[in-house]
Amino acid sequence: MPPKFDPSDPAVVQLITLFDSLGLSPSKSLETAKSSKNAAQLKELIIAHGLEGKNLEEKKALLVAALAAQGTYLGSEAKAYVIDKVLEGKLERGDQLTAAVKYLAQHQLTATMNYLEPHRGAINEAEFDAECGVGVVVTPDQAEQLVLLYLAENASAIEGWQSFSATLMKLKATPELRWAATLDVKNATEAAFLNKFGPKVSVNPKDMRKAAASKTATPGNVTPTASDSSSGIVALSSEKTVFEEGFLGRLHKPGGNPQLNGALREKHLKTTGGQVWTRFPPEPNGYLHIGHSKAIFVNFGYAAHFGGKCYLRYDDTNPEAEEQQYFDYILEMVRWLGYEPWKITYSSDYFQRLYDLAVDLTRRDKAYVCHCSAEKIFADRGGEERGPRKACEHRNRPIAESLAEFEGMRDGKYKPGEAILRMKMDLEDGNPTMWDTIAYRVLNAPHHRTGTTWRIYPTYDFTHCLCDSFENISHSLCTTEFILSRQSYEWLCDALEVYKPKQSEYGRLNIQGTVMSKRKILKLVKEGHVSGWDDPRLYTLIALRRRGIPPGAIISFVSGLGVSTSPSNIQTVRFEQAIRQYLENSAPRLMMVLKPLKVTLENVPEDYVLMIEKPLHQKVPELGTSSVPFTRTLYIDAEDFRLEDSKDYFRLAPGKTVGLFQAPAPVTCTRYSIDPVTGEVAELFCTLGESNSTSNKPKTFIQWVADHPASGSPIRVDETRIFHQLFKSDDPAATEDFIADVNPNSLEVVEGAFIEVGFWPLAKKAIGDARKDSEARLKAAATSGSEPAKEASPVGALHDAHNQPVASVEQLVGNECVRFQGLRVGYFAVDKDAQLGCLTEGDAPKPGSRPGDVVILNRIVTLKEDSAKKAS
């Protein structure tokens, strides 16, 4: 047994005092003293190199202690050399010290063997510094860039999370990242993997459940305080923090973005008045989906929060993929989510200006016309199999020749693929976006706005930054997929000496449990798995709208997630939970029975009618009341009756009593009849109990709808569409064959549900309110100088004279505005296929059913998460 350590032993006290005097903390001194070997080595080092009483910074003292432990085989000179480097602050971290010891150990060998020629062992400082990373600083941003670059280059070798550790080790072994902080590299790699492969899937189902539970428990997902103003624009208590903290909180102040010269900044600030100017720049080649709601929220929301302006800019530089309908839907969805663009612009507005700048760039010898094939360009990029990167033979052709050829491209001299304009960037750079990216290409396609004026079209890389510059954008916000493009963005602005906006990248929003890629949704539509792009089971914005999800709920959800540089991967169930919370205190409540079961109250006279005025929401009196008849014949939900009673069952069964919401008294089931054909319970016979009797207070209340043709009760619902998860697995996007993962029972249609007559006035009011809000918004936008409003033609017009989409009242008014909670059933909205005559007749006529009406409801979400799970 080793001798017992006694900290009061005078010899130990002496050691601790000595280590203290070097600068170690008392606890580290004590710990070192405890190990007799380490203590002896450190003591020797301190004495030999005169470090006693130096009281170094703790960081340096720790490095000295590490040297004592690791460098036992080094000679005294070598140790002195390392100590000097530590004291000078050149060796700063443990990994550098380890590298130093290793390097010197190797070289010292030579020195000892050749002691007669000491110069042979002399340390080469430059080499030492290089080996130990002296003076190398890798910022977290640089580390992130390098990681993304490495992953992009080596994507094919990385299969998924199983490659994570190996990738991390390889990354740390690259010369560029060797001296980056390990945590920075790890974080960046984790974020990139998350982005690419989604969350790491645990193999242990127990862990998965735990993870799921902790996810839903995360505070701040959604702000339950968000109150629904019917306009869909919602004041959120979390908005302030979202825009002023985290990623958005760290953004520069307007004008704080670096410029080539101060004059550019001054001119910019003069134009913007120092305001935040942002833009939402979708490509008009598809439908927006839930992920875009984050881009809309970030760009429009950030500008609005700081009293700035946000453009809607259609990035229409690819005429082959564009369709008019996409332009219309994009504007409609932006407005539906509650935002008005300050101006609507098009990249194509700037085609002439972009062309002129391309000429200018060529004149500056920073662009050239290249005739290489795509294969040749790819081969010239180099790589493991293709060898070193090469410039093509056109790169150094005379400027005049490029200018002439570019004109030729414009004038139709070349067919697509025969000539391109490339930026002359930096082939030596590690970033592939700097390898002479294409600026212009020839396309034989007419453009929907410029017609056949142009045969050449600018690329995203050439267009995007320059349009941002033209529009004096203060913050160019985009998702992290564009992080590598930032370098070419800045290069081009500087090359042309124009105002340079700053691009900043945030993590995108991914919803799991569904697919969002255009190609996949198209396949679902084409093969008939869904009814169209707006099928309520999809997560396109038009689908979510049709399903009845309030726009304010989406904004509240996105805002609650916050904005950071890492992507948000959210399961559909969590999204639904947020919607549910939002609807809880905003949706009026109606009585609805999904599967009606007839009840006759035998002790109530045939002609008995009691009109009951009941609140639409017990806790939110502002939502008003509805008036429903109570008569001898009622319908309850078939699920609220059972033949077998049990102790923990409190609804209706033979001989049992249950309360009816808002009814004058509870009812007791006395007998029932059976349908001779189906063998199922056909009708219940009950007695209405004593009014005001306190002795028999029911434990449970159920919903009901009375039969009273005179007041139109009940309303028969032709179709109630109930949506379950469209996919069987939690992550269809990750499955090999997502079509095989389609849940064949994701749509359930219930025919013949009943709802109370309160539905009519509620529907009429909801549509009326939506119309009023929409008109008010258009008016407000007009007075604040919003471009679309100025152009707005009479109500209902979606295009102006030039076939451009404009804002209209109708855009924001649709059947889905009629939302309610079917008490104890779920949240519902009216489907666009429904026909409710009274909603389109204007203000005067009475709400109610009309001949030819078709009532179709969509279930927005269930009342509780559990029932959603059970149902699927």
Residues forming contacts to ligand NAG in the complex (CB under 6 A) are 140, 149-150, 153-154, 170, 174, 183-184, 187, 267-268, 271, 470-472, 499, 691-692
Supply 331's token pair.
């504007």
Please classify residue 648 by burial: count the beta carbons closer than 10 Å to its beta carbon, then call 0-12 exposed, 13-18 middle and 19+ buried. Answer: exposed
- Which of 52, 176, 245, 283 is an active site residue? 283
The nearest distance, CB 144 to ligand NAG, in angstroms, is: 9
- Comparing CA positions, the residue from 855, 625, 550, 859 lying closest to residue 718 is 855
Whose Cβ is closer to ligand NAG: residue 500's or residue 824's? Answer: 500
Let me know: does 496 contact 361? Beta carbons within 8 Å.
Answer: yes
Whose Cβ is closer to ligand NAG: residue 163's or residue 187's? Answer: 187
The nearest distance, CB 300 to ligand NAG, in angstroms, is: 18
Whose Cβ is closer to ligand NAG: residue 326's or residue 350's? Answer: 350
User: How far, in Å, CA of 628 to CA of 640, rounded?
Assistant: 21
Percent helix, percent strand, percent coil in the chain, to nearest 5: 40, 15, 40
Q: Tell me how many degrees the CA angle 470-282-496 measures, rounded to the nearest 5.
A: 25
The continuous run of DSSP H or E covering 764 comes out as helix 759-783
- Asked about 215 being catalytic, the answer comes back as no
Q: Tell me how many degrees the CA angle 353-359-365 measures, rounded to the nearest 5.
A: 140
Whose Cβ is closer to ligand NAG: residue 291's or residue 507's? Answer: 507
The nearest distance, CB 589 to ligand NAG, in angstroms, is: 22
Whose Cβ is closer to ligand NAG: residue 265's or residue 294's? Answer: 265
Whose Cβ is closer to ligand NAG: residue 182's or residue 241's? Answer: 182
User: How far, in Å, CA of 590 to CA of 657, rounded?
Assistant: 23
User: How far, in Å, CA of 83 to CA of 63, rounded?
Assistant: 9
Let me know: does 625 contact 590? Beta carbons within 8 Å.
Answer: no
The nearest distance, CB 150 to ligand NAG, in angstroms, is: 4
The nearest distance, CB 149 to ligand NAG, in angstroms, is: 5
Q: Tell me how many degrees the CA angle 363-368-369 measures, rounded to the nearest 5.
A: 125
Q: Strand order of the sheet with strand 277-280?
A: 277-280, 309-314, 343-346
- Which of 389, 518, 523, 614 is an active site residue? 518
User: How far, in Å, CA of 339 to CA of 234, rounded?
Assistant: 11
- Which of 85, 410, 422, 508 is an active site residue? 508
What residues contact 481, with CB distance under 8 A and at least 6 apart?
A: 195, 505, 508
Whose Cβ is closer to ligand NAG: residue 152's or residue 782's? Answer: 152
Q: CA gyration radius for the chain?
A: 36
The nearest distance, CB 370 to ligand NAG, in angstroms, is: 24
The nearest distance, CB 516 to ligand NAG, in angstroms, is: 25
Fill in the DSSP letter of residue 226.
-
Q: What is the DSSP string of 258-272?
A: --SSHHHHHHHHHHH
Let me know: does 327 contact 314? Beta carbons within 8 Å.
Answer: yes
Whose Cβ is closer to ligand NAG: residue 153's or residue 411's? Answer: 153
In our burial notation (b when 16+ CB lie closer than 10 A, e otherwise), range 251-266 reads: beebeebebbeeebbe
Whose Cβ is closer to ligand NAG: residue 562's or residue 761's? Answer: 562
What residues contact 226, with CB distance under 8 A and at least 6 apart?
A: 234, 235, 236, 237, 552, 553, 556, 582
- Asked about 283 being catalytic, the answer comes back as yes
The nearest distance, CB 170 to ligand NAG, in angstroms, is: 5
Neighbours of 749 (CB within 10 A): 10
- Asked about 508 being catalytic, the answer comes back as yes
Q: Dihedral sign for Cα 843, 846, 852, 857, please.
A: positive
Write out the catalytic residue numbers.
283, 508, 518
